[in-house]
Amino acid sequence: MADKRPFEVEGHAKKYAVRVPTVDEIRKANEIRAKTFNEALSRGDLLRDQLEGELRKRKLWNDNREMEYQTLRQEVLDGEFRLQKGGIKLTQARQIALDMSQKRDDMVNLLSSRTDLDSNTCEGRADAARFNYLFACCLVYDETDKPYFPNNIDDYLLKQDDPVAITGATEFYYLISGNESVDKTLPENKFLSKFKFIDTKFRLIDKDGRLVTEDGKHIDDNGNLIEWDDDGNYTKVDPSGRAVNAKGDFDVEHSPFLDDEDVEIDESVYNVVVEDANDDAENAEVEEEQFSEASKPKAKRGRKKAVSAKSDEVVEPDK
């Protein structure tokens, strides 16, 4: 296992890394895990052995879901067998691999409630506490090896949404588990990568390396449909292939409409002024104020009366 795993974060000039924890850090992390487990157990949190029963009790899992999950699992295994055996058209094999990927996503969705509840079990909380402590200690700047979180776990708990922390946590998992990205090890992705159907980010591409949808339509990095020209430039298009501009409007030259005698209509006389939404709100406030003023009862003429501060007694002011 490598001693350090460098990584970069988009938009950041500095480089970061995660390192292997020291013996003392592992010992401290294990102590934190044991303490967290005991605290959760004393609160009455679930144990993993109780998870299945609790899921069924809350109707988050039942026999139908179990059957659906096992069916998907078998279909993924069948697809893996067909890819390994070969002897079929490459286009057919591509579709099998894509179907396998979709089925895995369906399996993850089915297990989402189980995963969420597992994180709240005694073991789940304890494992998370151990991992968080080690990660907070081992996230460093690549060039200096100085800790990214000087106060370790205290800093990390305050900055868990930090992009460096989010990326680093995944890299740290790969480092301490000895595994690369799970996506790289999946049979369907191995096949798709081997035959150049996906890029290094597991995005579908065509034979020229351009991003495509599953049905072969070209897209840009943001997933917008595009159409390439012979000069290597592209234009955004709608699902029917019609050009659109950056605002999403059709990029087409407008021609005047015609009347029943096929004579061009002067559209300028039909121009409609569209008021800004803020203007509408301001106008509404003005109208409301005017209405409120008009609705107020008019003051009666005559001398004003005063109300005593000590009572509700109305007294006449001095003449």
pLDDT tens, 199-217?
998 999 999 999 999 999 9
* pTM of the predicted protein model: 0.68
What whole-number distance in Å separates Cα of residue 158 and Cα of residue 146?
Answer: 19
Distance (Å, whole) CA 175 – CA 170 = 9
- For 150-297, strand residue ranges (E) read 226-228, 234-236
Q: Which is more confident, 124 or 313? A: 124
Better-scored residue on pLDDT, 157 or 283:
157
Q: Are 132 and 149 contacting, i.e. CB atoms less than 8 angstroms apart?
A: no
Q: How far apart are CA 306 and CA 134, in angstroms?
A: 74
pLDDT at site 40: 97
Instruction: Give the rounded distance of the alpha carbon of 251 from its chain centre.
Output: 31
For residues 186-201, average pLDDT: 95
Q: How far apart are CA 183 and CA 140, in angstroms?
A: 26
β-strand pairing of 226-228 with 16-19: unpaired
**CA-closest candidate to residue 17, choices 179, 171, 156:** 171
Residue 63 corresponds to which tokens in the numbers above? 């026999």
The string of pLDDT tens digits covering residues 126-162 is 999 999 999 999 999 999 999 999 999 999 999 999 9
Structural contact between residues 135 and 168, judged by C-beta atoms closer than 8 angstroms:
yes
On whether the CB atoms of residues 132 and 152 are closer than 8 A, the answer is no
Q: Which of 162, 133, 150, 146 is nearest to 21 (CA)?
A: 133
Q: Which residues contact 40 (CB under 8 A, 6 or more apart)?
A: 121, 122, 125, 126
Angle between the N-to-C axes of helices 122-138 and 23-43, in degrees from 0 to 180, rounded to the nearest 10: 150
Q: What is the pLDDT of residue 57?
A: 92
